[in-house]
Structure 1
Amino acid sequence: MPTPVYDADSGTRAGHNELGRLPEWNLTDLYESPDAPEIKRDMDWLETACTDFARDYQGQLATLDAHGLLDAVLRYERIEQIAGRIMSYAGLRYYQITTDGERAKFMSDCQDRITTYTTSLVFWGLEFNRLEDDHLNSLLGQSQDLHRYKPVFDRMRAMKPYQLSDELEKFLHDQSSVGASAWNKLFDETIAGLEFEVNGETLSIEGTLNLLTEQDRSQREAAFHGLATVFGANTRTFARIHNTLAKEKEIEDRWRGLPTPQTGRHLANHVEPEVVEALRNAVVAAYPRLSHRYYRLKAKWLGLDRLEVWDRNAPLPTKDDRLVTWDEAERTVTEAYAAFDPRMADLAGPFFAKGWIDAAVKPGKAPGAFAHPTVTDAHPYVMLNYLGKPRDVMTLAHELGHGVHQVLAAGQGELLCSTPLTLAETASVFGEMLTFRKLLAEAPDPKARKALLAGKVEDMINTVVRQIAFYDFESKLHEARRHGELTPDDINALWMSIQAQSLGDAFDFAPGYETFWAYIPHFIHSPFYVYAYAFGDGLVNALYAVYEEGDPTFRDKYFDMLKAGGSKHHKDLLAPFGLDASDPKFWDKGLSMIEGFIDELEAMEA
């Protein structure tokens, strides 16, 4: 599908013409258009391939030799690749304009057909998990090519104690397109369609949230009230979505025998519950040393006795309020990557040059930012809502890090490239750190250095403290939902119960803030995803400390880690760096970097 490049002056807010030309996705590397003959060809192939796979292998896995099982794995992998290409194309088109009925229909129709075709494959994981351990180990020992897929098999077999009957698993698979995914789409479309009135101007959610980082406090307050008014008016819808999804999860977890609402996420992330608990406890214990201390400093800088929630992301009074053009953002991030290793910049180059980034804010576009890996015989795409703020430059560095990681991991193939969420943030947060260190080194004076340090501390607090607070909110919500329907007021109360604890005594919480749980997409799309951000930040802080120690082999080991994708456990990936995430002291190392930045900021006040 040929796509134009958006000029920033066609954006949704005045002043965007200062940003330069903002790129839009070119999705033709996947398919030319929704009615391209290649889509029909691939859909037809997929239908036949799924039918043939079930005919050839259902009830037969226990009889296969190593060569036969490898052939089955390779055929299954190809099916995943073709289905992934179709859904990547449909999804990326949809997220460009979620309010477009044709795009929504196209994605839903693709999802429905693929769900129908792949129902015949449900037996694969169930029957595979019934193979005897000794038999499977024997086959793995006979074929190195088959043994390469052992991490995939390990993740499959981790679900063995929790799998249901073949019939029930098929039912859940068939029902999925009208279950969680339908509620996900309702959430996305509702959020994208919301309009917010701020000082006589009608804005999207991205434009309104952006105002919370304005220098003018009255603008921030007006944006807050605009958000609170609309969230409050829609809270019944958002509460219904949360109630339904949490109950659906509770029912499925109960049938599977999963001991906690978080267990499924831990299994998917291939991380031990005690490691996540150690991370959570370390961060909560550090709240007073991190967020509480920092926000007391911030209140002083802003000349306020108390902060309001619309001051949380306010820039410092000394901060340069100019907009960062797209060309400058590209140059800054690319140079930071190149200074670490020219290979990083080379990998990032095609994202800018070949239409792999969609940057402009547009009506109906999904909020936030992400990097989508698509499939291993294509390439990733990055979505941004670029408004020219310094934080947007860091978001570019973050998402581009994901993209570089996904390009490198693609060599593992479709089944092994996907990185668990806990490790998926590694390259993204590292890319942010490289960009920050470059800007800090180039700071022209102490005021500029202070603004950069404060901005980085706030980003790290948002990545670590706030995400663990989100994790605690989700934990409370899912536990409460087990005991009955939750009213909007119930959810509001759960939200507020963790806010003062995480943000500290410098804050007041204006009426309306209790509804701000409503717009956070991770709660809807990926329950308990959020701790991965804190995991990734702590991991990268520890990695960066090793890098600063001057290990001459660090870069090669770092690239090897990214190339591994999902083929290794976090213990094996971190071992070459002398790190171990299962050691509770590991998390204190990462948190100490944030403390060090706050120490430096406090010293500037002396």
Structure 2
Amino acid sequence: MQIAHPVRDANAPAGTDGLGNLPEWDLSDLYPSPDGPEFAADMERLEALCTSFAADYAGRLDTLDAAGLLRAVERDEELSIIAGRLMSYAGLRYYQNTMDSDRAKFMADAQDRITTMTAQLVFWSLELNRIEDGKLEAMFAENAALARYRPIFERLRAMKPHQLSNELEQFLHDQSAVGAAAWNRLFDETIAGLEFTIDGEPRPLEATLDLLSEQDRSKRESAAREIARVFGENVRTFARVHNTLAKEKEIEDRWRKMPSPQTGRHLANHVEPEVVEALRNAVVAAYPKLSHRYYALKAKWLGLDRLQVWDRNAPLPMESDRKVAWDEAKATVLDAYAGFDPKMAEIAAPFFEKGWIDAGVKPGKAPGAFAHPTVSTVHPYVMLNYLGKPRDVMTLAHELGHGVHQVLAADQGEHLSSTPLTLAETASVFGEMLTFRALLEKAETKQERRVMLAGKVEDMINTVVRQIAFYDFECKLHDARREGELTPDDINALWMSVQAESLGPVFDFMEGYEVFWAYIPHFVHSPFYVYAYAFGDGLVNALYAVYEEGDADFQAKYFEMLKAGGSKHHKALLAPFGLDASDPAFWDKGLSMISGMIDELEAMED
């Protein structure tokens, strides 16, 4: 079991620059301490339960009646909760300081031990898939409590054509700790150990990336060139990681008879390949009216004929560099949530009050941001690297949206609360939109409104256009790897093949930008994850359009959608709103919101 939304390293003291008292995690709701009796007792308990589960059910699932199968499912859910709790604690401690060798060892040892003990459970999904369809349907008809788990059986059975023999599945399970998981850890620790020098001062990656949104263009250029230098010096390591993981995936996909490298992700996301293809095609077709048009405007605002890569996230000349203190960020997001529905703010408030957020930038801490759901019997934890920029406020709104979603879905239980990635971004992006709209309403001048609209358009381009370009890069990389080993130059060329197409003709690309693929964590941790961001943004834009149209029952239907977790397909979840993601026009509806904001920005030029 791995931590959701894996990210990278950042350093710098917390609570500086007038940001206020930034919160830290209190992980005691999971376990009081790593060496306490509670963690050890749960590890022992898990081992005993795995052994008894295998003894009771291996080789005889097809002999169970409906009540017996229900009991087996409930016991499997109990195992998942214990294992998830153990690994959540070990993983979250590790991400607080990835450079701490004791924390790294603690997580690795826990993962190894759990991998070993859960090897006894490999039979479970394999034997479930061998139960005849008619027999399973009859058991569903007989037992409503069992029928509630139908979505779990459907997802398992979607993998039925791709499952291997018990022995091969056992082998893949046993070697996982020294396969992808080991390469993931090498990537994380390599990233965490990199040092970037700006003006003679050493910086970690997160703080260096932050300079790419500085007002001073020379600082942005220095940061971009230093990132290129450091990653250029380490590109062979990152190329090895990508080559190995892509080849490992190709081998497993071939054995499983997966028709494409993306198939496994689509199955996990419970989304049809044609829906993803419709999304991808709609976004690529919209590049000219979205990113190309916006960045041409941005060049004009910056007084430049051409943009360099270090100008992509540059603030506008009229934009304030005021830092947003933590208490103000908290109030901004909670007020926006309450403006939608007080219940949403009530669910979010404990994150601030009970140690469920870790916000400061600290030595060795993983960079970026994520919301980890832990298990359905505890609560989520949110990680941020808060530097006080307006985008950091939006990140808080985003991750808190995940947290609200995870809290609401927890009532479904461990197996049904987990939301496919394509739907997991719904509440997070919606939370951002609520916060943005609340702030936009308060804009007092045309200039202030322009800055806010431009910032939102950039965020949406980064979420939609950029992530689809990333998806295309991954598709090309995995296709190319099937033909043989890829040199760093090969990977660089694939990266550059999607950059000009997605960003537009106004951009020049400095020497060294070709290695910027090296630090994108999703390529390593979760292949083909990235399209879920574009899916979620398009879905939320369409949802928000329905909200703005004045659906009187919108809030109630929205909360019901979040409460459903992973218990319903995207078609069933969107039907109450009159939306259908399998309709190509659905994506155009979402993209039109972005182009409409660019229309308004262009009109301000008159």
Which band: TM-score by shorter chain?
Answer: over 0.9
Whole-Å Cα distance in 2 between the matches of residues 493 and 350 of structure 1? Answer: 47
- Measured against aligned partners, the alpha-carbon deviations of 1:215-258 in whole angstroms (never above 9, x if no partner) come to 00011001111111111011000000000000000000000000
Whole-Å Cα distance in 2 between the matches of residues 501 and 599 of structure 1? Answer: 21
2:162–2:256: 8 Å Cα contact kept in structure 1? yes
Once the 2 structures are TM-superposed, how far is the Cα of residue 59 of structure 1 from its aligned partner? 1.0
Once the 2 structures are TM-superposed, how far is the Cα of residue 108 of structure 1 from its aligned partner? 0.4
- Equivalence for 1:549: 549
2:99–2:193: 8 Å Cα contact kept in structure 1? yes
Alignment of 1:485-504 (within 5 A): 485-504=485-504
- Equivalence for 2:194: 194
Once the 2 structures are TM-superposed, how far is the Cα of residue 200 of structure 1 from its aligned partner? 1.5
- Measured against aligned partners, the alpha-carbon deviations of 1:413-446 in whole angstroms (never above 9, x if no partner) come to 0000000000000000000000000110001211
Instruction: Give, as a single letter, the amino acid of the residue that structure 2 aligns with 1:483.
Output: E
2:13–2:362: 8 Å Cα contact kept in structure 1? no
Matched, 1:175 2:175: yes
- 1:22 alignment partner, SS class: coil
- 2:202 alignment partner, SS class: strand
Instruction: Give, as a single letter, the amino acid of the residue that structure 1 aligns with 2:555.
Output: R
- Measured against aligned partners, the alpha-carbon deviations of 1:448-501 in whole angstroms (never above 9, x if no partner) come to 000000000000000000000000000000000000000111000000000000
1:468–1:531: 8 Å Cα contact kept in structure 2? yes
- Equivalence for 2:59: 59
2:14–2:22: 8 Å Cα contact kept in structure 1? no
Whole-Å Cα distance in 2 between the matches of residues 16 and 210 of structure 1? Answer: 15
- 2:382 alignment partner, SS class: strand
Once the 2 structures are TM-superposed, how far is the Cα of residue 14 of structure 1 from its aligned partner? 10
Matched, 1:447 2:430: no
- Measured against aligned partners, the alpha-carbon deviations of 1:547-572 in whole angstroms (never above 9, x if no partner) come to 00111100000000000000000000
Instruction: Give, as a single letter, the amino acid of the residue that structure 2 aligns with 1:38.
Output: E
- Measured against aligned partners, the alpha-carbon deviations of 1:353-388 in whole angstroms (never above 9, x if no partner) come to 000000011111111100000011100000001111
Matched, 1:376 2:372: no
Give the direction of change, closer, same or farther, for the CA distance of 1:13–1:300 in structure 2 (3 Å limit): farther
- Equivalence for 2:242: 242
2:309–2:508: 8 Å Cα contact kept in structure 1? yes
2:11–2:365: 8 Å Cα contact kept in structure 1? no
- Measured against aligned partners, the alpha-carbon deviations of 1:114-162 in whole angstroms (never above 9, x if no partner) come to 0011000000000000000000000011111000000000000000000
- Equivalence for 1:166: 166
Instruction: Give, as a single letter, the amino acid of the residue that structure 2 aligns with 1:44.
Output: E
- 1:285 alignment partner, SS class: helix
- 1:582 alignment partner, SS class: coil
Once the 2 structures are TM-superposed, how far is the Cα of residue 528 of structure 1 from its aligned partner? 0.2
Alignment of 1:61-460 (within 5 A): 61-460=61-460
- 1:260 alignment partner, SS class: coil
Query: TM-score, normalization: structure 1?
Result: 0.98
Whole-Å Cα distance in 1 between the matches of residues 526 and 539 of structure 2? Answer: 21
Once the 2 structures are TM-superposed, how far is the Cα of residue 16 of structure 1 from its aligned partner? 2.6
Whole-Å Cα distance in 2 between the matches of residues 486 and 460 of structure 1? Answer: 32
Matched, 1:509 2:509: yes
- Measured against aligned partners, the alpha-carbon deviations of 1:281-338 in whole angstroms (never above 9, x if no partner) come to 0000000000000000000000000000000000000111100100110000000000
- Equivalence for 1:47: 47
* Larger relative contact order (Cα-Cα within 8 Å, sequence gap ≥ 6): 2
2:11–2:206: 8 Å Cα contact kept in structure 1? no
- Equivalence for 1:467: 467
Whole-Å Cα distance in 1 between the matches of residues 27 and 291 of structure 2? Answer: 41
1:155–1:270: 8 Å Cα contact kept in structure 2? yes
2:14–2:360: 8 Å Cα contact kept in structure 1? no
1:341–1:555: 8 Å Cα contact kept in structure 2? yes
- Equivalence for 2:7: none
Whole-Å Cα distance in 2 between the matches of residues 210 and 11 of structure 1? Answer: 12
Whole-Å Cα distance in 1 between the matches of residues 152 and 313 of structure 2? Answer: 41
- 2:18 alignment partner, SS class: helix
Whole-Å Cα distance in 1 between the matches of residues 368 and 237 of structure 2? Answer: 21
2:62–2:131: 8 Å Cα contact kept in structure 1? yes
Alignment of 1:19-30 (within 5 A): 19-30=19-30
Instruction: Give, as a single letter, the amino acid of the residue that structure 2 aligns with 1:477.
Output: L
- 2:285 alignment partner, SS class: helix
Whole-Å Cα distance in 2 between the matches of residues 199 and 435 of structure 1? Answer: 36
Instruction: Give, as a single letter, the amino acid of the residue that structure 1 aligns with 2:296.
Output: R
1:13–1:207: 8 Å Cα contact kept in structure 2? no
Using the aligned pairs only, state the percent identity.
75
Whole-Å Cα distance in 2 between the matches of residues 260 and 351 of structure 1? Answer: 40
Whole-Å Cα distance in 2 between the matches of residues 371 and 525 of structure 1? Answer: 15
2:119–2:174: 8 Å Cα contact kept in structure 1? yes
- 1:265 alignment partner, SS class: helix
Whole-Å Cα distance in 2 between the matches of residues 393 and 511 of structure 1? Answer: 33
Whole-Å Cα distance in 2 between the matches of residues 506 and 328 of structure 1? Answer: 37
- 1:181 alignment partner, SS class: helix
Instruction: Give, as a single letter, the amino acid of the residue that structure 2 aligns with 1:304.
Output: L
Matched, 1:599 2:593: no
Once the 2 structures are TM-superposed, how far is the Cα of residue 13 of structure 1 from its aligned partner? 6.4
- 2:283 alignment partner, SS class: helix
How large is the RMSD of aligned CA atoms in angstroms? Answer: 1.0
- Measured against aligned partners, the alpha-carbon deviations of 1:154-204 in whole angstroms (never above 9, x if no partner) come to 000000000000000000000001100110011111111111001112111
Unaligned residue ranges in structure 2 (runs of 5+): 1-9
- Equivalence for 2:578: 578
Unaligned residue ranges in structure 1 (runs of 5+): 1-9
Whole-Å Cα distance in 2 between the matches of residues 559 and 598 of structure 1? Answer: 31
Once the 2 structures are TM-superposed, how far is the Cα of residue 107 of structure 1 from its aligned partner? 0.3
Whole-Å Cα distance in 2 between the matches of residues 492 and 199 of structure 1? Answer: 28
Whole-Å Cα distance in 2 between the matches of residues 569 and 11 of structure 1? Answer: 40
Whole-Å Cα distance in 2 between the matches of residues 448 and 294 of structure 1? Answer: 18
1:546–1:577: 8 Å Cα contact kept in structure 2? yes
Whole-Å Cα distance in 1 between the matches of residues 45 and 358 of structure 2? Answer: 30
- Equivalence for 1:7: none
Once the 2 structures are TM-superposed, how far is the Cα of residue 15 of structure 1 from its aligned partner? 9.0
- 1:605 alignment partner, SS class: coil
- 1:371 alignment partner, SS class: strand
- Measured against aligned partners, the alpha-carbon deviations of 1:66-105 in whole angstroms (never above 9, x if no partner) come to 1000000000000000000000000000000001100000
- Measured against aligned partners, the alpha-carbon deviations of 1:519-557 in whole angstroms (never above 9, x if no partner) come to 000000000000000000000000000000111100000
Whole-Å Cα distance in 1 between the matches of residues 107 and 414 of structure 2? Answer: 21
Once the 2 structures are TM-superposed, how far is the Cα of residue 17 of structure 1 from its aligned partner? 3.1
- 1:202 alignment partner, SS class: strand
- 1:18 alignment partner, SS class: coil
1:11–1:360: 8 Å Cα contact kept in structure 2? no
Alignment of 1:470-485 (within 5 A): 470-485=470-485
Aligned residues: 597
- 1:518 alignment partner, SS class: helix
Any runs of at least 4 consecutive aligned residues in structure 1 with deviations exceeding 3 A, and if so which?
none
Instruction: Give, as a single letter, the amino acid of the residue that structure 2 aligns with 1:554.
Output: F
- 2:17 alignment partner, SS class: helix
Whole-Å Cα distance in 2 between the matches of residues 383 and 190 of structure 1? Answer: 20
- 1:197 alignment partner, SS class: strand
Instruction: Give, as a single letter, the amino acid of the residue that structure 2 aligns with 1:538.
Output: G
Whole-Å Cα distance in 2 between the matches of residues 477 and 367 of structure 1? Answer: 25
Whole-Å Cα distance in 2 between the matches of residues 472 and 485 of structure 1? Answer: 19
Instruction: Give, as a single letter, the amino acid of the residue that structure 2 aligns with 1:288.
Output: P
Whole-Å Cα distance in 1 between the matches of residues 252 and 157 of structure 2? Answer: 18
Whole-Å Cα distance in 1 between the matches of residues 14 and 362 of structure 2? Answer: 13
